[in-house]
Structures are given as structure tokens and as C-alpha cells.
């Protein structure tokens, strides 16, 4: 989807080690071209995106 700019991050953690908890959200800026494609094509646009083959959660921060 060509997102690259993080516009909001909120992360919380409590506990540590096995059984510790973490939660969070990252909000990325959506390019205007992607928004236009979503508006025009709807869910088909999302279903045709290439699959993520990377492991883990690369967030580019």
C-alpha cells in the first residue's frame, strides 16, 4: 500500500518475561493514490495486494 510515514503510535506494556503483556497501535499515513484506488475498487484492491512474505512485525520506525 506504499505507506511509510507513521502519524500516531501508542504502546503500553506491563509485566515482564513470559506472561508479560504488550499492546499497541501504529497509524500510517495513506497516500492519496491508494485512497483513490480503495474508493474506486473497494475490497478488490485489498484482496489483490501482494502477500507479506516477511516474518515478524517490521514497522519501519
Phi/psi region, residue 19 (left: phi>0; alpha: psi -120 to 50; beta: rest), is left
- Residues 38, 47: contact at Cβ < 8 Å? no
Nearest to 12 by CA among 57, 56, 21: 21
pLDDT digits (tens, 9 = 90+) for 2-61: 888 899 999 988 877 777 788 899 999 999 999 999 999 999 998 998 887 777 655 544
Amino acid at each position: 500500500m506504499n505507506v511509510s510515514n507513521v502519524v500516531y503510535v501508542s504502546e503500553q506494556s506491563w509485566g515482564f518475561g513470559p506472561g508479560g503483556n504488550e499492546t499497541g497501535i501504529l497509524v500510517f499515513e495513506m497516500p492519496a493514490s491508494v485512497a483513490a484506488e480503495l474508493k474506486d475498487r473497494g475490497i478488490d484492491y485489498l484482496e489483490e495486494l501482494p502477500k507479506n512474505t516477511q516474518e515478524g512485525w517490521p514497522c519501519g520506525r
